[in-house]
Amino acid sequence: MADEVFLPADWTNVPSGPKHWTADSRSDDPAARVAHEPTGAGPGDGKTFHFLFGYKTASEQDRSMLAEELAHIDDDVAVLRGAGFTVVVDRQATRQDLLDAVAADGTAGFYWSSHGGADGRLQCCDGALISPADIDPATVTPGLRLAVLGACYVGAYAPAWRTAFGGQPLVAGWGRPVTLERAVDFLEAGQDPDVGLDDLIARWLLTDAPLPPDPAVAGLPPAAVTGGRAKGIARRIRGFTGHLGATWEKHDSHYSVTVPLPAGRTHQVVVFVVDGAEPFSEGVELCGMEARVGPTSALVTPERLLAGSARPGYGRIALVAGETGVPEIVTQSFTPLAGTSSQQLAAHCYQVALHADALEFEIFGTDGD
């Protein structure tokens, strides 16, 4: 019979999680960090670009994602080195590695890849998290021009991250969860009309062109549903959702309708009543429908946003003010409530859902709504 193993009482029934590291014990492997010297001269002379991967070392899935991305950065590393940059590739990036990178003299840009949280925080290889509030803008090197945050959700907080980085660099990132395929597409060259890492490097690191400001939300309207009401459309909801085989739920100011789409996908449309304000429709009760796509960013081109939207139909694409300071992409439709048949309302609802879902899948590769 094997000897009984004694475990301290406080070791039992404790959920597993990231280890706790001391100041004298690193959470990463220093050997995972490699600096590649320049192979040429150019705009990167005396400057550094960092590839920082914060995937958790203990996760098999994370290690697989890391391997996929590492296989697609060789061309970017070669371009940067040929232009005079020193290129650092760190496969086990910690919170401190990011703080050190943005504070180092000569850092012109970085690509951080890991998981991101819905609150805009980045996850590090040891399970630690870093948020914009953790960075002192006064410590950021003034030469930082490009900050690419390859993590889900984090792009929706780009203005906060830009402020944390001293207000200077262009911050690009995903505003919604994305698939690994989308992340790899971003690293591959020539994915027009996508904006890829190669495009960002060519535009903002190989030139001294003035960096663009954050997309303005001050002049954008709020989501149309914020001015809507649910009163008066209960009977119409029951009628047109029957045509679609959709389900619905009533809220104080609107109805949320879950519309079934091809290939087993669905998308949620909010339906409400709003008074018309355009010429010749002032005061007319309109049935408004709106579906969310996600935050826009430097990674979303106008060509991609507008592709396929020129076909005759009821839906339209619009930008509205987002809660995090980043414009939100939505699809919308408005039609007079009186005199519009259930079949027509069903067509409006379906097209709004279909356009939103197609855009969401094209940009993020996911079915989030």
pLDDT winner (highest mean) among 10-19, 187-196, 239-248? 239-248
Strands 122-123 and 266-275 turn out to be unpaired
Q: Are 287 and 236 in contact (CB under 8 A)?
A: yes
Q: Are 112 and 99 in contact (CB under 8 A)?
A: no
**Separation of alpha carbons 143 and 366, rounded Å:** 35
Which pLDDT does position 300 carry in this prediction? 79
Cβ neighbors of 112 (< 8 A, separation 6 or more) are 52, 53, 54, 93, 98, 122, 147, 148, 149, 150, 151
Q: Are 297 and 158 in contact (CB under 8 A)?
A: yes
Query: What's the chain's average pLDDT?
Result: 87
Q: Which residue has the higher pLDDT, 218 or 149?
A: 149
One CATH from 3.30.1460.10, 3.30.300.30, 3.40.50.1100, 3.40.50.720 for 224-364: 3.30.1460.10
For the full predicted model, state whether its pTM sits above 0.85.
Answer: no
Strand partners, 289: 271, 333
Which residue is associated with the tokens 């507008």? 306
Helix (H, G, I), strand (E, B) or coil at 322: coil
Pair of tokens at residue 270 = 């909010």
**Separation of alpha carbons 96 and 93, rounded Å:** 8
Which pLDDT does position 260 carry in this prediction? 97
- Render pLDDT for 90-105 as a digit per residue (tens, 0 to 9): 999 999 999 999 999 9
What b-and-e string marks burial along 18-47, b requiring 16 or more CB atoms within 10 Å of the CB? beeeeeeeebbeeeebeebebeeeeebeeb
What percent of the chain is predicted at pLDDT more than 90? Answer: 65
- Render pLDDT for 332-352 as a digit per residue (tens, 0 to 9): 999 999 999 999 999 999 999
Q: Which of 215-219, 300-304, 346-350 has the lowest mean pLDDT?
A: 215-219
Which pLDDT does position 185 carry in this prediction? 87
Helix (H, G, I), strand (E, B) or coil at 228: coil
278 sits in the region (left: phi over 0; alpha: psi -120 to 50; else beta) called beta
**Separation of alpha carbons 135 and 70, rounded Å:** 27
Q: Are 270 and 290 in contact (CB under 8 A)?
A: yes
Q: Which of 129-138, 233-242, 249-258, 320-329 has the lowest mean pLDDT?
A: 320-329
